[in-house]
Amino acid sequence: MDRISDFEEIYTPLKITEVKPLLDRCYNCSEPFCSKKLIVDNNLVGCPLEININKIISLMKYDLYDEAYKELTKNNPFPEITSRVCKGYCEYSCINNKDNNPTSIREIIRTLSDYALDHNLVDTSIKENKNKKVTIIGSGASGLSCAYYLAKEGYNVTVYEKDECPGGTLMYGISNMRLSKDILNRRIDLLKKMGVNFICNTEVTRVISPMEVLDNTDALVIASGVIKRRFVCPGMGLKNVMYATDYLKKVTKNILTSGKSDILENKKVLIIGSGDTSSDVISYALREKASMIAVIDYKNMPPLKRTNSWPQPSDALIIDEAILEARAKSKMDPRSFNMTIKEIIGNNSVDGVKLTQVKWENGNPIISDREQTFPVDEVIISVGNIGFEEDLINYFDIDVVNKMVDEFKHNNGKVFICGEALLNNGVTALAIKDGLKCAKEVSEYLEA
Ligand code: SF4
């Protein structure tokens, strides 16, 4: 397993001509479901940004890469990012996915986007300066897309970021193997070239007062993202219990400064939760040479083979790159379902965990009285995020009653809010879309 010997990106870069066989698998459907954002049985399918996939592929078939990239970036300012981190909602609804073998849309888009970056096809032109200032708090996906649109329209854009580098979750919450920080930094450099001013290491409310920020801007956008869900379990206060977001951030910082990281070296690690973030933790833990990696999830194990039908996303057990790596390393799947944690045991630091089984009856969990103790050195909590940065929302008295609605709200004159702070669904493409939508509203407000 050469791949887990370093923290480099896992994708094999393709030359633009090498994607030709992939392009040929697109039928140029007259009614392409891949490009339409749809909700099917409460599942998102189709491209959330509604890019015109079959047109892009058709242009690429004729080697018209410049035109294809222009078409791609009409709705998606950062395709090099979405093609790496998106789950592939477009591929769920591709007609070829009826046979569980969709057109490789993400690979095609990633190759085209990298080609565009390498061949200076990215449009960084901006309109005449409007001499109006917009300040954005937060530099994740929605903050960056909002900054991109407003800078392009000729506004003076400043972005506050509490961490050392811009990017938010894209920088610190997604592994370097899924989204290389070099790729992200290339985009951030392009935004700087467009005039976006990033002020890092500056948390609004703690380092600078929100009122000072508000007084010095014509419009303020809150794109501060979500905060982690608080997990309650006896022993949470022990050393070596970490939230996944904190762990991913520490490793990413280590990689950025020295190219290596060994926080979990020779450690037995239990990860609670089996979603995308959990997979990023597995990938990092493998490369840090953890001696054992186990994952528990209280949910029922998904079926091994798909039981639902196109265009729903497959309900089968997800086998992503991290799980493949873990299986290759230890010859077994690290995940155990129908399991939950009763207690983390230890004195100062973690010695082990008490686990128990969960049965589901009529949608309700029945927790077993029996428990088993397992020795572990580290516990990593990966149970998702919740809500928004309350300090900021409360400070500006923003109405977030409809936070699950694909809308942003601005109840305080020149204060706007967008992205995960409202959506809380972990879909990068939707956060980008929301940032663009918010930027248009800011622009209309400033021009009124
Ligand atoms: S649904 Fe699949 S085959 Fe049809 S246009 Fe989209 S990518 Fe091509």
Cα(73)–Cα(40) distance, integer angstroms: 26
Q: Are residues 251 and 347 in the same domain?
A: yes
138 in a domain, yes or no?
A: yes
Mean pLDDT across the stretch 110-117? Answer: 97
Nearest CA among 12, 93, 108, 7 for reference residue 55: 108
Mean pLDDT across the stretch 54-60? Answer: 97
Q: Are residues 284 and 340 in the same domain?
A: yes
pLDDT on residue 406: 40
Q: Are residues 252 and 346 in the same domain?
A: yes
Q: Are residues 194 and 109 in the same domain?
A: no
Of the candidates 90, 118, 146, which is a domain's last residue? 118
Q: Are residues 210 and 246 in the same domain?
A: no
234 in a domain, yes or no?
A: no
Q: What residue type is assigned to position 290 of the chain?
A: A
Mean pLDDT across the stretch 98-114? Answer: 95
Cα(141)–Cα(390) distance, integer angstroms: 19
pLDDT on residue 407: 46
Q: Which of 92, 94, 100, 112 to mutate to test the pocket of ligand 1 (most atoms within 8 A of CB)?
A: 94
pLDDT on residue 405: 36
Q: Which of 22, 23, 33 to mutate to test the pocket of ligand 1 (most atoms within 8 A of CB)?
A: 33
CB 132 within 8 A of CB 106: no
Residue 12 vs residue 80, higher pLDDT: 80
In this structure, which residue's CA is closest to atom 2 in ligand 1?
94
| Distance in Å from the first CA to the final CA of the chain | 59
pLDDT on residue 389: 67
The burial class, CB within 10 Å (0-12 / 13-18 / 19+), for 14 is: middle
Cα(382)–Cα(364) distance, integer angstroms: 21
Q: Are residues 83 and 215 in the same domain?
A: no
Q: Are residues 398 and 378 in the same domain?
A: no
378 in a domain, yes or no?
A: yes
Share of the chain above pLDDT 70, in %: 93
The boundaries of the domain holding residue 18 are 10-118
32 in a domain, yes or no?
A: yes
Q: Are residues 274 and 366 in the same domain?
A: yes
- Positive or negative, the CA dihedral 409, 162, 251, 176 is positive
360 in a domain, yes or no?
A: yes
pLDDT on residue 228: 65
Q: How confident is the model at residue 411 (pLDDT cuts 50, 70, 90)?
A: low
| Domain containing residue 323: CATH number | 3.50.50.60
Q: Are residues 60 and 109 in the same domain?
A: yes
Q: How many residues appear in the chain?
A: 448
Q: Are residues 351 and 286 in the same domain?
A: yes
CB 434 within 8 A of CB 418: yes
1 in a domain, yes or no?
A: no
In this structure, which residue's CA is closest to atom 3 in ligand 1?
26
pLDDT on residue 403: 45
Assess whether the C-beta atom of 242 lies below 6 angstroms from ligand 1: no
- Residue 168, pLDDT > 90, answer yes
Of the candidates 118, 147, 180, which is a domain's last residue? 118
pTM exceeding the 0.85 threshold for the entire prediction: yes
Q: How confident is the model at residue 402 (pLDDT cuts 50, 70, 90)?
A: low
State how many domains the chain has.
3
419 in a domain, yes or no?
A: yes
Mean pLDDT, the chain, rounded, equals 92
Strands 350-361 and 339-346: antiparallel
Lowest mean pLDDT among 124-128, 296-300, 353-357, 384-388: 384-388
Of the candidates 118, 148, 176, which is a domain's last residue? 118
Mean pLDDT across the stretch 374-387? Answer: 87
- Residue 216, pLDDT > 50, answer yes
Lowest mean pLDDT among 131-140, 284-293, 420-429: 420-429
CB 34 within 8 A of CB 105: yes
Q: Can you say whether residue 391 is alpha, beta or left, with left for phi > 0 and alpha for psi between -120 and 50 degrees?
A: alpha
64 in a domain, yes or no?
A: yes
Q: Can you say whether residue 8 is alpha, beta or left, with left for phi > 0 and alpha for psi between -120 and 50 degrees?
A: beta
Cα(102)–Cα(87) distance, integer angstroms: 13
Q: Are residues 248 and 352 in the same domain?
A: yes
- Residue 404, pLDDT > 50, answer no
pLDDT tens digits along 78-102:
999 999 999 899 999 999 999 889 9
